[in-house]
Amino acid sequence: MPNRPWRPARPVWAHRQLHLTPPAPDSAVKPAEKQSVAQPAGRHVDPPTLEIVLYPSPALRRMAQPIPAVTDLVRQVAARMVELMHAAPGVGLAGPQVGLDWRIFVANPTGQPADDRVYINPVLTGPSREQDDEEEGCLSLPGIRGEIRRPRQITIEATDLDGRRFTATSDDLEARVWQHECDHLDGVLIIDRMPRVDRMANRQALRQLEDQAS
Ligand SMILES: [Zn+2]
């Protein structure tokens, strides 16, 4: 993975709005059902059946919603996401990548099971001025890679699986993973952040993914 400025040359926010789709309506779900599953989208979620969704799935462009409470369902989803991340293998996986508009991601920069981490309702603060360019890939964009500039150091605040809020700061790969995964929660993909030359280089691979989906 890799680095570009915290504020990319391209107007990412404007770009993001072009692709943003509203959160899935949950009006069809009765309040009692919503409570029983305690999850933002109000859809039925069966954790063992979750799979990684690929570009250009609309799920990857939705703005994920805060998780109201850390329930058993949330813990089961997190466990499934960790399983999928290791199987891929990858260093991080976000809710939208398994088709859920939940603000959750899992990460493990080392691949060692002891380093599995779950971040619920994460918020990034205090990005360093210093930035790095590094190559990044994405489990939802197989075969696509590009240089992304990101702040070298950043702080994350999130809730863990026990419902406790925690804070951590990193200036290595972990910091980059946090930023990549938080982008997913806002519907932003590496193809939005990579330089034009990298987007051009990946044009064929992107078209292939689009063709496979249609
Ligand atoms: Zn990704």
Q: How far is the CA of 28 from the centre of ligand 1 (A)?
A: 30
Q: How far is the CA of 139 from the centre of ligand 1 (A)?
A: 6
Q: How far is the CA of 136 from the centre of ligand 1 (A)?
A: 9
Which is the catalytic residue, given 33, 83, 181, 210? 181
What are the extents of the domains in the chain?
26-213
pLDDT category of residue 12 using cuts at 50, 70 and 90: very low
CB under 8 A, 24+ apart: contacts of 33-42:
37/73, 38/68, 38/69, 38/71, 38/73, 38/74, 39/67, 39/71, 39/73, 39/74, 39/100, 39/102, 40/64, 40/65, 40/66, 40/67, 40/68, 40/101, 40/102, 41/65, 41/100, 41/101, 41/102
Q: How far is the CA of 32 from the centre of ligand 1 (A)?
A: 34
- Tens digit of each residue's pLDDT (9 = 90 or more) over 96-150: 999 999 999 999 999 999 999 999 999 999 999 999 999 999 999 999 999 999 9
pLDDT category of residue 61 using cuts at 50, 70 and 90: very high
Q: What are phi and psi of 195, to 5 degrees?
A: -60, 155
- Tens digit of each residue's pLDDT (9 = 90 or more) over 70-80: 999 999 999 99
Q: What are phi and psi of 144, to 5 degrees?
A: -105, 130
SS3 content of the chain, % helix, strand, coil (to 5): 35, 20, 45
Residues 6+ apart with CB under 8 A from 101: 23, 24, 40, 41, 59, 62, 63, 64, 65, 95
130 is catalytic: no
CATH level 3 topology of 26-213: Peptide Deformylase (3.90.45)
**Which residues are placed with Cβ below 5 angstroms of ligand 1, an ion?**
138
Is the pLDDT at 169 greater than 60, yes or no? yes
Q: Give the tokens for residue 89.
A: 């293998």
pLDDT category of residue 15 using cuts at 50, 70 and 90: very low
Is the pLDDT at 34 greater than 50, yes or no? no
